[in-house]
Structure 1
Amino acid sequence: MNEVLSQDEIDQLLTAISSGDVDTDDFSQPTESRKIKIYDFKRPDKFSKEQIRTVSIMHETFARLTTTALSAQLRSLVQVHVASVDQLTYEEFIRSIPNPTTLGVINMDPLKGSAILEIDPAITFSIIDRLFGGQGEGTKVTRDLTDIETSVMEGIIVRILGNMREAWSQVIDLRPRLGQIETNPQFAQIVPPTEMVVLVTLETKVGEVEGMMNFCIPYLTIEPIISKLSAQYWYSSVRRGATTENLNILRERLSTIAVPMVVEIGSMDLTVRDVLSLTVGDVIRLQDSHIYDHMALRVGDRKKFWCKPGQIANKLAVQVTGRIEAIETEEFEELVAEEGE
């Protein structure tokens, strides 16, 4: 308290203290309480809250993509969403999962080391039952997977890893590959038991069957990109938009897309009555078309190229002679030049 007392107030205070009306303990300085944070040196925190939040955002995208992919493949309602993201020791993770279970050892190229994708047995057998023609019912029997069931789950995990690559694309061009599938957690020792890991828990529902998928990433694996797991880097990379990595990914995906190509020989106007009266052998005379004229080649719903008809072996073909857009641009520039003169 910064208030200055007058002489009269000081005298009254001294009189009250000497008479015992006021307890001097009431004016003692309060002791400063220091906040103590408990730190366990056996479990050092490797990830900050901001980095954990960034990992959560990345895998929310992964969950949405996986929901769509599995729903289409299983032809059933599938729901996947991030339940939690925690950091713990690898030993604690191994003890928390059932035995047997489905453990996919994932090679995190170009990052060093491996990660673990664990799928709850209830979800595993529900997926297998659905793909084998059943209703997608889970089983309460705990057993190892057969060779055929293991092969089926390999295909599912490979499909899921494609979604993981896209979810991580803002941070690194991850190329995850499935190494092997284990059913006993004790055989999946990818790091020492005391090593810290980040565990992404995904609540999964296939039809009426509910379970968990866990994605375990060791700190040693994710350490080279730990600086990129920040909100500032994440949002700046989103704003950058088209980067070299993104363009290469887009080119790779666009190169596999099939588009229809149609050659237009010509056109004419007919009434509905004439169309209905057409029979085999009728000849239709095209308007403003000549046998030596260039024909338009449509890609999708746009005219893109000029071409000439021809033949290769016993098949009809066309030879591309120019781009329609380029020709139209030249004609437009010539028209502007003439108007300027």
Structure 2
Amino acid sequence: MAGDILSQSEIDKLLSAISTGVVSADEVRVEEQKKIKVYDFKRPDKFSKDQIRTLFMLHENFARILNTYLSTHLRVLVKVEVVSVDQLTYEEFIRSLPNPSVISILSLSSLKGNIIFEMDTNVVFSIIDRLFGGMGDESKMKARTLTDIEETVIKNMMSKMMEGLQEAWHNVQDFKLNIESMESNPQFTQIVPSGDMVVIITLQLKVGSVEGLINICIPYIVIEPIVPKLTTTFWVSASSTRKEHPEEVDQLKKKLRKAIIPVSVELGRVSLTISEFLTLGMGDTLRLNTKADDELVCIVGERPKFYCRPGIIGKRSAVQITKVIESDDEEGEKRDG
């Protein structure tokens, strides 16, 4: 049947198939029902499939950033992955949250309104326990509201986590996230009317053996001005054409200047057999392979970077840099080692 209008011969064949039992009336009815698409006017779809896919990709990037930060900071195996991106009413989202919860209400510098960042209490208390020197054992945790000290600790960590979320959104929109308040009762977090549509990004977080969910609630009205940018084409092109900003370079330089790197000076080397080493005692003298007027090697981190001469400044031992070790010299030092 090429079109919606049947010819008389097609009608006769269909009636014949139904009468002979080849095709049942229920099958015909099902075919008709498939053409009908259910649409709820109380819950209109605000985001297209492409926009939902872009939000998924954005927060996959955030999950990778969060994974790196938490693994380094907590010194434990952490796994973060995006589970789903859904759109529903704000009332449905609030009803889905347990009480108590750990809910942060965030403001965006370049957009109007607030978003919600909610974390599972099991994961939050596991993080707090590890930060306080514990093992983050799930069996010792009970759902309760945070104390003032615990809330301060989580706020400090949340600030770092929000930097990762800002970075993930950078190619679409630059904004700064600020924590306005933290709540434990979902009913006290009325950031938009109950019937307003929101998009919920759900991430699964595993800290050691403890698992939980992170929910990011973004009202449509908040990101409505930038919805046209939420396309995979725009996001990919923005990522590929992204240029360095002078302020980012300055910030990176400032962080590098604050980096603490161990510096050591190698006075010389000596080779010993195991038997000679085992016979060493107090007062024994070892002859190094360097002379008093030889230049010494200054090691920065784990790499030889400078030649220097030993000396004294006041009552302290010191060295004077005489030459920068070039790449060839550096490789030679590694081979000698």
TM-score by length of 2: 0.67
C-alpha distance in structure 1 between counterparts of 2:129 and 2:81, whole Å:
22
Distance 1:207 1:303 in 2: 38
Aligned residue for 2:28? none
Cα distance, 1:290–1:70 mapped onto 2, change above 3 Å = closer
1:203-214 correspondence runs (5 A) = 203-204=204-205, 211-214=212-215
97 and 257 in structure 1: CA distance in 2 versus 1, 3 angstrom threshold: same
Task: Return the offset for 1:207.
Answer: 6.8
For the residues of structure 1 that align with 2:307 and 2:111, how far apart are their CA atoms?
Answer: 49
Count matched residues: 303
Contact kept in structure 2, 1:129 and 1:137, CA below 8 Å: no
Which one-letter code corresponds to 1:258 in the other structure? I
Indicate the residue corresponding to 1:11 in structure 2.
none
**Structure 1 residue aligned with 2:9, among 26, 38, 53?**
26
Relative to structure 2, which stretch is displaced further, 243-252 or 104-113?
243-252
**Are 2:267 and 2:290, in contact at CA under 8 Å, matched by a contact in 1?**
no
Question: Is the 1:106–1:177 Cα contact (8 Å) retained in structure 2?
Answer: yes
Instruction: Work out the CA distance in 2 between the residues paired with 1:302 and 1:76.
Output: 28
Note the residue ranges of structure 1 that are not aligned, 5 or more in a row.
Answer: 2-23, 330-341
| Shift, 1:304, TM fit | 1.5
Question: Cα distance 1:164–1:278, how it changes in 2: closer, same or farther (>3 A)?
Answer: same
On the 8 A contact 2:91/2:194 being kept in 1, the answer is yes
**Distance in 2 between the 1:47 and 1:239 partners?**
24
Counterpart for residue 88 of structure 1:
88
Classify the secondary structure of the residue corresponding to 1:137. Answer: helix
Pairing 1:189–2:172 present: no
RMSD, matched Cα: 4.4
State how far apart, in whole Å, the 2-side matches of 1:224 and 1:52 are.
Answer: 16
For 1:196 and 1:320, how far apart are their aligned partners in 2? 65
**1:135 CA drift (Å):** 3.1
Q: Which has the larger radius of gyration?
A: 1
Which string of whole-angstrom CA distances, capped at 9 and with x for unpartnered residues, describes residues 13-36 of structure 1?
Answer: xxxxxxxxxxx72278xxxx9x77
**Which residue in the other structure is 1:317 paired with?**
318
Residue 335 of structure 2 corresponds to which residue in structure 1?
none
Deviation, structure 1 residue 297:
1.5
Whether the 8 Å CA contact 1:129–1:136 is kept in 2: the answer is no
**Aligned to 1:150, what secondary structure does the other structure show?**
helix
Give the % identical residues: 47
Task: Give 1:117 deviation, angstroms.
Answer: 1.0
C-alpha offsets along residues 231-267 of structure 1, whole Å, 9 cap, x if unaligned? 2343345555874487667656655543332223344
- What is the CA-CA distance between 1:92 and the residue it aligns to? 3.3
Match of 2:114 in 1: 114
* Matching residue within 245, 257, 260 for 1:258: 260
Task: Write out aligned runs for 1:107-256 (5 A).
Answer: 107-121=107-121, 123-124=123-124, 133=134, 135-137=137-139, 144-158=145-159, 160-171=161-172, 175-204=176-205, 211-223=212-224, 225-239=226-240, 243-244=244-245, 251=253, 254-256=256-258
Structure 2 residue runs without a partner (length 5+): 2-6, 12-31, 331-337
Q: 1:274 to 1:154 in 2, by over 3 A?
A: same
CA distance in 1, matches of 2:299, 2:141: 54
TM-score, normalization: structure 1? 0.66
